[in-house]
């Protein structure tokens, strides 16, 4: 158990400008990395009132999508090497993707190689279905995840 913050003073980056997609009526809008990035960029960091994008935990380049095979692969980079929040961030990402994309997509979430001390264990935990659903049944953890997901998302209704 750590007292205080793990990374009390993170580097904050500027948000990238939102790209407005051009509309093409007749073709299908295929799912691409930007779609995925758009859905996860505004997730709040568990510790700070900044989005994952702002903290440079995620970028469009760190996301790979193959629509034909139905795969989404996200690699994220925790701000510090010993970040214990990495699992929470991963969990947030997974929940968000579950909500936003059809269930037939296989989602792989990994931390970028070398960015975390217990990288292998975290990767294993994040992609273990049973452990994820167990975590989501934990009320306090669920609340934490929900806070991250919805803190700066406001419905207009």
Partner 1 sequence: MFVVLEIGASSIKAKSVDAISSLIKNDLLTLEALVREMELYLTSTDHIIRGRGTLLLAEVLNCLLEKPLDSHTISILVEFFTAKLEDWQVLWGVLVGCLALLKRTKKFGMVDNSDARTLAKSFLINVQVQSLAVRDRKLCLEVLQCLLDAYTDAVVVLLSSCDIWDNFFITGDDLVYGICEAIDEEKDPRCLMLNFHLVEILGHLYPDPSGPMASFAQDIFDILSRYYPIYFTHPKDDGLDIKREDLSKGLMNAFSSSPFFEPFVVPLLLEKLSSSLLSAKLDSLKYLNSCLYHYGGKRMVKHSRVIWSNLKDVIFNFSPERPLLTDELDVDMKSEVNQIRMEALNCLETALSCFDFSEQDSFLCLIIDDPDIGTKLESLTSITSYSGTSAEIQRDLSAIGGIFTSIAKVSIYCCNKVFLKFFPCLMDVLGVSRNHSSQFCITNHKTVHGGMNFGALFLSVELLSSSRELSLVSNIAAEFIAESKSWFFMLKSFSMDLCHVLGSVLRTSNTSMVASEKEGVLCAVKGLQSLSTFPSSCSPISEGCYEDVLEILMSIITGRSDETYLWNLSLKALVQIGLWIESASGHDSARGICYNKVVEKILSMLQTNDSMVSLSLKLVAISEIANVGQYVLSIIRALEDAIISSLVACIQGGLKSSDSLVGLLECYTSRVLPRCCTSGSFDDVAVQFSINIWNQLENVSVFNTDVTMQVMITMKLLVAGCTVENQSLILKKAHCVILSMDFLKTQPFQSIHGIIALSCRDKWIASLFGSVVIALRSQTPLTDMKGILNLFLILLPEGNLPAAQALASMVNKCPSSINEPEISARLSLDQACEDILKLCLWTLESNSHLKQYNFLDRDICSQRSIVLGMAWVGKGLLMRGHEKVTEIAMFLMKCLVSDSNEDITLQQQKENGKGVGMDANSSLATSAADAFHVLLNDSEDCLNKKIALYRALGHIISDTPLAAVLAESKKVDIRNFIIPALLDTLAISGSETSHKKIVYSLLLVLSGILMDDNGKVTILENIHTVIECLIKLISYPDLMIRFPSCELSIGIQKRSLTPTSVRKVCAELSQIVRETAIQCLVAMSVLPHARIFPFRPRVLKAVATALDDRKRAVRQEAVRCRQAWFELTFYTFFVVWFDPSNY
| Cβ closest to partner 1, residue 9 vs residue 99 | 99
**CB-based contact 98:107 (threshold 8 Å):** yes
**CB-based contact 71:97 (threshold 8 Å):** no
* Chain-centroid distance, C-alpha 101: 13
Q: Which letter does DSSP use for residue 72 in this model?
A: E
Q: How near is the Cβ of 72 to partner 1 at its closest, in Å?
A: 13
Q: How near is the Cβ of 65 to partner 1 at its closest, in Å?
A: 13
**Two structure tokens written together for 140:** 């306090």
Q: How near is the Cβ of 104 to partner 1 at its closest, in Å?
A: 8
Q: Which letter does DSSP use for residue 48 in this model?
A: S
Using the Cα atoms of residue 34, residue 75, residue 52 and residue 138 in order, give the sign of their dihedral: positive
- What is the spatial distance between Cα 120 and Cα 123, in angstroms, rounded to a whole number? 5
| Cβ closest to partner 1, residue 74 vs residue 116 | 74
- What is the spatial distance between Cα 2 and Cα 57, in angstroms, rounded to a whole number? 21
Summarize as ranges the residues that interact with partner 1 (CB under 8 A).
Answer: 21, 23, 25, 28-29, 35, 39, 99-104, 155, 157
| Cβ closest to partner 1, residue 26 vs residue 129 | 26
**CB-based contact 97:89 (threshold 8 Å):** no
Q: How near is the Cβ of 10 to partner 1 at its closest, in Å?
A: 28
Q: How near is the Cβ of 96 to partner 1 at its closest, in Å?
A: 10
| Cβ closest to partner 1, residue 17 vs residue 24 | 24
| Cβ closest to partner 1, residue 49 vs residue 157 | 157
């Amino acid at each position: 158990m750590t007292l205080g913050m793990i990374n009390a003073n993170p580097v904050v980056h500027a948000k990238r400008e939102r790209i407005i997609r051009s509309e093409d009526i007749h073709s299908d809008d295929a799912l691409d990395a930007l779609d995925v990035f758009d859905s996860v960029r505004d997730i709040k960091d568990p510790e700070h009132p900044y989005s994952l994008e702002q903290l440079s935990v995620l970028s469009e380049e760190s996301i790979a999508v193959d629509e034909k095979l139905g795969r989404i692969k996200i690699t994220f980079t925790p701000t510090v090497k010993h970040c214990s929040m990495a699992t929470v961030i991963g969990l947030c990402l997974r929940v968000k993707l579950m909500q936003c994309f059809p269930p037939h997509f296989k989602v792989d979430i990994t931390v970028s190689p070398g960015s975390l001390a217990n990288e292998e264990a975290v990767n294993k935990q994040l992609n273990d279905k049973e452990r994820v659903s167990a975590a989501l049944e934990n009320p306090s953890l669920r609340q934490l995840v929900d806070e991250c997901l919805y803190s700066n998302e406001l419905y207009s209704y």
